[in-house]
């Protein structure tokens, strides 16, 4: 399961790069046009990135806890499902910065490409921190799943090892 989730997250991250390459051809500045978007638009994207980071931290790890006494096989299965659902929420939130920047890139008169690139870089950074299944997201999810005292068996489920 872990390998599948890593492939999913890497695919979502690489799509932002592919969109950036396409936008290079669509939004390439004409001769004499500025390549940098107005500062207010750039600051708006940064503020949006900070707001999304706060939202991901507040909402992206709210997993319902595993009930104490749950069978290890069932606990592992439920933990995996809850982790995957929360990961999809985190993907959607992190992608929002790049999507908004992409839309705004067509609104600004100059520097649309720089606006998208900033949004994509912020989204990619957030995805590395919160989406890519590594120690950070797994530990935070485990703490949420085990907050009522039950063992979640999340790591065992993600690595396909049988629960103990």
Q: What is the pLDDT of residues 80-119, one digit of tens each?
A: 999 999 999 999 999 999 999 999 999 888 888 899 999 9
Per-residue confidence (pLDDT) for residue 100, from 0 to 100: 97
Per-residue confidence (pLDDT) for residue 103, from 0 to 100: 95
The answer to whether residue 152 sits within a structural domain is yes
The answer to whether residue 49 sits within a structural domain is yes
The answer to whether residue 31 sits within a structural domain is no
Burial category of 125 from C-beta neighbours within 10 Å (exposed 0-12, middle 13-18, buried 19 and up): middle
For 148, the domain range is 1-8+43-60+70-164
The answer to whether residue 38 sits within a structural domain is no
- Residue pair 94/127 in contact (Cβ under 8 Å)? The answer is yes
What are the C-alpha distances in Å from 58 to residues 26, 27, 42, 131?
Answer: 36, 35, 25, 14
Can you tell me the mean pLDDT for 5-14?
93
The answer to whether residue 37 sits within a structural domain is no
C-alpha to C-alpha distance for 65 and 98, rounded to whole angstroms: 32
**pLDDT exceeds 90 at position 162:** no
Can you tell me the mean pLDDT for 53-59?
94
The answer to whether residue 29 sits within a structural domain is no
The answer to whether residue 22 sits within a structural domain is no
Question: pLDDT > 70: what percent of the chain?
Answer: 93
Domain count, the chain: 1
CA angle 85, 87, 89 (to 5 degrees): 75
- Residue pair 124/91 in contact (Cβ under 8 Å)? The answer is no
The answer to whether residue 23 sits within a structural domain is no
Give pTM, 2 decimals. Answer: 0.87
Output the six-digit token pair for 163. Answer: 């629960």
């Amino acid at each position: 399961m872990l390998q599948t989730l890593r492939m999913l997250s890497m695919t979502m991250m690489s799509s932002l790069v592919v969109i950036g390459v396409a936008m290079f051809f669509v939004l390439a500045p004409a001769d004499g046009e500025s390549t940098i978007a107005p500062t207010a638009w750039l600051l708006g994207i940064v503020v949006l990135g900070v707001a999304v980071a706060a939202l991901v931290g507040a909402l992206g790890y709210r997993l319902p806890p595993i009930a104490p006494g749950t069978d290890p096989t069932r606990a592992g299965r439920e933990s995996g499902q809850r982790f995957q659902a929360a990961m999809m929420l985190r993907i959607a939130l992190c992608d929002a910065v790049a999507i908004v920047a992409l839309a705004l890139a067509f609104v600004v008169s100059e520097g649309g490409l720089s606006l998208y690139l900033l949004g994509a870089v912020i989204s990619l950074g957030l995805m590395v921190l919160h989406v890519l299944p590594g120690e950070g997201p797994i530990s935070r999810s485990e703490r949420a799943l085990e907050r009522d005292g039950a063992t979640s068996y999340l790591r065992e489920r993600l690595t396909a090892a049988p629960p103990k």
